[in-house]
Amino acid sequence: GTHIYYNGKAILEKELSNEKCREIVGKLRECDITAIPEGNEAVYFDNLKPLTKELIEIKEMFKKQGIDTTKTWDDENLNFSKFVMWIDENSKKEEFFEYILDEFDYIDRGNDFFEIVPKGFSKATGIEYIQEHLDIELEDCFAIGDSNNDLPMFNYISNSIAMGNSHPSLFDIVSFVTKRIEDDGIEHALKHFSII
């Protein structure tokens, strides 16, 4: 919900100020939290900590998508709109949440993994924005997802579709569960709803 592209052009871009970005990464370090800030064109890795196997895999995934993965938390032009973070036994979780929750919402994605987004922005607000921009009725909108961070749009939209490989907790709240992503689940869903 912080970036929306239509016909190859950005029609909504929400970025935090460089000052706020620097403040956030400073607090992440102070609270010993591993995180990946995500910007429009780059993702940022903490250059003061060695990358774990999981972070290396995530970095490669972003790289394959054409996103710049060479930037660090100390980059002069640090600029992001949201971030994901992992909590462990060394993290000062309560202190960090007390700092962040006035301006941000968090999505608990399980296993001590959280997604942090600016208040007032979600996948549901993204759908609402594109509805207004293109003058589309809600009943003509469809949402496909596979994670807890998709809950806001699933709760907002009636034509909600969970991928077959989604967390099972999503299955009871969507209108349709399609096949797994590797089994052409998106195509299967679009055929189910007679879109194609």
Tens of pLDDT along 95-106? 999 999 999 998
Average pLDDT estimate for 140-160: 90
DSSP letter string, 152-196? HHHHH-SSEEE-TTS-GGGTTTSSEE---GGGTHHHHHHHHTT--
Average pLDDT estimate for 156-180: 93
Q: 44 in the Ramachandran plot: left (φ > 0), alpha (ψ -120 to 50) or beta?
A: beta
N-to-C CA span, the chain:
26
Highest mean pLDDT among 5-9, 109-113, 170-174: 170-174
- Residue 8 pLDDT: 82
Percent of the chain beyond pLDDT 70?
99
- Residue 56 pLDDT: 94
- Residue 5 pLDDT: 80
**What is each CA distance from 152 to 5, 19, 176, in whole angstroms?**
19, 29, 16
Q: Which residues contact 189 (CB under 8 A, 6 or more apart)?
A: 142, 144, 161, 176, 178
Is the predicted pLDDT of residue 4 greater than 90, yes or no?
A: no
Name the strand (E) or helix (H) holding 24: helix 18-30
Q: Is 35 exposed, middle or buried (0-12, 13-18, 19+ CB in 10 A)?
A: buried
| Cβ atoms of residues 127 and 151 within 8 Å | no
| Helix-then-strand count for the chain, H and E | 6, 11
Confidence of residue 159 (pLDDT cuts 50, 70, 90): very high
Is the predicted pLDDT of residue 183 greater than 90, yes or no?
A: yes
What confidence tens digit (pLDDT) does each residue in 112-128 have? 999 999 988 778 888 98
What confidence tens digit (pLDDT) does each residue in 35-93 have? 999 988 899 999 999 899 999 999 999 999 999 999 999 999 999 999 999 999 999 99
